[in-house]
Amino acid sequence: MVDEPNLRGNYVDTGLYKKSIGAKRVSNPKKYGCDEMVRVRVKAGEYKNGNRVAMIAGILEYGDEKMSAKAPFRKATEGINQSVADTVVQGINDGIQKAIKKLDSTA
């Protein structure tokens, strides 16, 4: 995967784009009509040359005048699939513990 332009307009894989992809459980998924929801996004960050990670992510995903679209987001998220699953499981476990505490307090 490539993720940072250099001065010649070529793209160099630094790993920062992949490291910048994160998953977080949405605290109120019912607000969006879901029982569970995980938001996957590109976190804020900058390359050494000052370019924002999100800007480079957009260029790579959709292309620009120098390069056709590479669409690496799906490939990059493959590495966090376990993280997403762990986030969902943790959310479910937290909900179960909350329900148990509520039941204990009413008994």
Render pLDDT for 7-56 as a digit per residue (tens, 0 to 9).
455 666 777 777 777 777 888 888 988 887 877 778 888 888 888 888 87
Render pLDDT for 45-89 as a digit per residue (tens, 0 to 9).
888 888 888 887 777 777 777 777 776 676 666 666 677 777 778
pTM metric for this prediction:
0.51
Alpha carbon distances (Å) from 84 to 21, 33, 74, 93: 11, 19, 13, 14
What proportions of the chain, in percent to the nearest 5, are helix, strand and coil? Answer: 50, 15, 35
Predicted local confidence at residue 107, as pLDDT: 66
Structural domain boundaries in the chain: 4-106
Predicted local confidence at residue 26, as pLDDT: 83
Alpha carbon distances (Å) from 100 to 35, 92, 93, 103, 106: 19, 12, 11, 5, 10
Element (H, E) at 59: helix 53-62
For residues 49 and 12, give the distance between their C-alpha atoms in angstroms, rounded to a whole number: 12
- Say whether pLDDT at 1 is over 50: no
Using the Cα atoms of residue 99, residue 100, residue 101 and residue 107 in order, give the sign of their dihedral.
Answer: positive
For residues 30 and 45, give the distance between their C-alpha atoms in angstroms, rounded to a whole number: 30
